[in-house]
């Protein structure tokens, strides 16, 4: 996968398209993964611009249910909780108490792309949000796909796009950028917010929130970046229940070494 140097303080490079983008194009939604999963719950489906998953496109285990706590990779077989229930710590087989960060064996970017590739950390989403110029489009490259064009900053400012508006002119023809399509997310069998909102996984769980009673056992959510077309970027790092199916945009931290070309 090509990667883009956006001039970030960390020198981290961002992948040019989402994991699972079949034609390797920035506007493709790619695949949707539960947090820590390296495979999808469906087969032969392209979630482009809001198409739903037909019954025959779900893998047998997930037909009629899709992305739920009961189907989550790290939930024990036989879990009987309902859609509105939260599992207990004992219901989990992994990432219940040992670590808040995905191991590389469970990081789909690393598994799919190899050495140097991984899912971004929360602080790296924060950096992308703060150090780049974000421009919303409803029609990226005349494809009809909505999302954010994230440009390399022209002035090394540390505030996000609101402080730069009117100061510089950015163009896909002359500036380095990545495009993050508003690919929505999967909850159960429903594709929600496609071409309206973007939700992208980080590799980190959100620590438990002591002020919320139902979070006192351990973290149920993982950090992600979220954006939409209503209010611009909502927040640099929100969080989602980790059973949700969400896209992954990989990052490369190979210390300047060109990333290997993945086998086809």
- Residue 214 has a pLDDT of 47
pLDDT of residue 47: 80
Q: Are 8 and 128 in contact (CB under 8 A)?
A: yes
- Contact call for residues 219 and 249 (beta carbons, < 8 A): no
More confident residue, 208 or 244: 244
pLDDT beyond 50 at 264: no
What is the mean pLDDT of the segment spanning 203-230? 71
Cα–Cα distance, 156 to 9 (Å, whole number):
9
**Quick one: pLDDT at residue 260?**
44
Domain residue limits, the chain: 3-252
Residue matched to tokens 């009987």: 80
Q: What is the pLDDT of residue 121?
A: 93
pTM of the model: 0.89
Say what the pLDDT of residue 164 is.
57
The percent of residues in the chain predicted with pLDDT above 90, rounded, is 55
Q: Higher confidence at residue 50 or residue 161?
A: 50
* Residue 208 in tokens: 């438990």
Question: How far is the C-alpha of 30 from the C-alpha of 103, rounded, in Å?
Answer: 22
Give the span between the Cα atoms of 145 and 163, in whole angstroms. 26
In this predicted model, what pLDDT tens digit does every residue of 154-178 receive, in sequence order? 876 555 555 555 667 888 989 999 9
- Neighbour order of strands in the sheet with 221-228: 197-205, 221-228, 233-241
Please tell me the predicted confidence (pLDDT) of residue 215.
Answer: 45
């Amino acid at each position: 996968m090509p990667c883009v140097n956006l001039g970030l303080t960390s020198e981290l490079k961002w992948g040019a398209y989402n994991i699972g983008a079949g034609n390797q194009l920035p506007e493709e939604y790619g695949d949707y993964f539960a947090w820590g999963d390296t495979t999808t719950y469906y087969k032969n489906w392209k979630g482009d611009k809001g198409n739903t998953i037909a019954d025959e496109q779900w893998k047998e285990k997930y037909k009629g249910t899709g992305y739920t706590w009961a189907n989550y990779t790290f939930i024990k077989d036989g879990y009987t909780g309902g859609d509105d229930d939260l599992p207990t710590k004992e219901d989990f087989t992994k990432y219940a108490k040992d670590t808040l960060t995905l191991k590389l064996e469970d990081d789909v970017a690393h598994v799919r792309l190899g050495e140097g590739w991984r899912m971004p950390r929360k602080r790296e989403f924060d950096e992308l949000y703060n150090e780049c110029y974000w421009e919303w489009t409803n029609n990226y490259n005349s494809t009809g796909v909505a999302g954010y064009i994230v440009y390399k900053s022209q002035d090394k400012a540390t505030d996000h796009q609101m402080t730069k508006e009117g100061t510089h002119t950015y163009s896909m023809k002359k500036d380095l950028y990545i495009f993050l399509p508003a690919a929505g997310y999967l909850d159960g069998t429903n594709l929600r917010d496609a071409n309206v909102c973007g939700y992208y996984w980080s590799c980190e769980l959100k620590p438990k929130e002591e002020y919320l009673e139902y979070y006192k056992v351990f973290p149920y959510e993982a950090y992600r970046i979220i954006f939409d077309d209503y209010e611009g970027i909502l927040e640099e790092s929100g969080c989602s229940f980790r059973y949700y199916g969400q896209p992954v945009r990989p990052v490369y931290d190979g210390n300047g070494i060109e990333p290997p070309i993945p086998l086809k």
